[in-house]
Amino acid sequence: MGHVIVTGFVSLDGIVTDPDGSGGTPAGGWAFRHGPETVGGDKFRLGELMDTGVLLLGRTTWELFSRLWPNRTDDFSTRMNKMAKVVASHSLTDLSAFPNSTLMDGALTDYVRTESRTVAVTGSLSVIRALQATDLVDEYRLMTFPSIVGTGEKLFGPSDTPVHFQLASVVQTGAASLATYVRP
């Protein structure tokens, strides 16, 4: 099994719902209020993982990304378009809108357990929750924004079993902080 990294934008009160406002929620767009220098480019420091790993996305995030990235030509967007992508969806059939996308074959947890490449998960809360429920997340790279959103889904739901990570690094990126947590 490869290494599983969850990346995400998180508000100060732990909300992950609609950071860019594309979901149309009343509090949506909270991350993007802090300027493009905070959210643009390789803010999660994926680096060479974009060339060697795979991006695992749920249907909703894939649909959003397929409208966003293919039309851009900057260096990060070019790498995002070239990156291998696997989509966990039972309803999508045509993945031609976002280059290098394939449908996941079989169950999510089976796929992750058998994937040898590093798997990065962005957005896709249903995918993240399934991986959390089966204790398959090895690392979190969380960009925390100085906004209190008040309503929406939190990254971590109730759990019967505590899971402990180690803080590996914290860096300021624009108005936010990027904290990386790894398994000890």
Phi and psi based region of residue 159 (left: phi greater than 0; alpha: psi -120 to 50; beta: remaining): beta
How confident is the model over 123-163, as pLDDT tens digits? 899 999 999 999 999 999 999 999 999 999 999 988 778 89
Which residues is 144 bridged to in the sheet?
A: 10, 177
How confident is the model over 39-65, as pLDDT tens digits? 677 788 888 888 899 999 999 999 988
Please give the structure tokens belonging to residue 10: 């998180």
pLDDT at 20: 86
SS3 of residue 135 by DSSP: coil
> Any idea what DSSP says for residue 154?
B
Domain count of the fold of the chain: 1
How confident is the model over 68-78, as pLDDT tens digits? 889 888 888 88
Residue 91 lies in a domain: yes
CATH (domain of 104): 3.40.430.10
pLDDT at 50: 85
Residue 175 lies in a domain: no
Residue 22 lies in a domain: no
How confident is the model over 16-34, as pLDDT tens digits? 999 888 888 888 889 888 8
Element (H, E) at 43: none
Element (H, E) at 106: none
6 neighbors 121 (Cβ within 8 angstroms): yes
Residue 21 lies in a domain: no
> pTM of the predicted model, to two decimals?
0.92
Residue 184 lies in a domain: no
pLDDT at 97: 93
pLDDT at 119: 96
Residue 146 lies in a domain: yes
Q: Please report how many Cα atoms fall inside a 13 Å half-sphere around the Cα of residue 13, on the Cβ side.
A: 10
Give the range of the structural domain holding residue 123, as residue numbers without chain letter.
4-16+32-158
Say whether pLDDT at 35 is over 80: no
CA-CA distance, 110 to 112, in Å (whole number)? 6
Residue 145 lies in a domain: yes
How confident is the model over 119-131, as pLDDT tens digits? 999 989 999 999 9
17-21 long-range CB contacts below 8 Å, 24 or more apart?
17/125, 17/149, 17/151, 17/152, 17/153, 18/152, 19/145, 20/64
How confident is the model over 79-122, as pLDDT tens digits? 888 999 999 998 998 999 999 999 998 999 999 999 999 999 99
R_g of the chain, CA atoms, integer Å: 16
Tally the residues of the chain.
184
pLDDT at 39: 67
Residue 25 lies in a domain: no
pLDDT at 43: 81
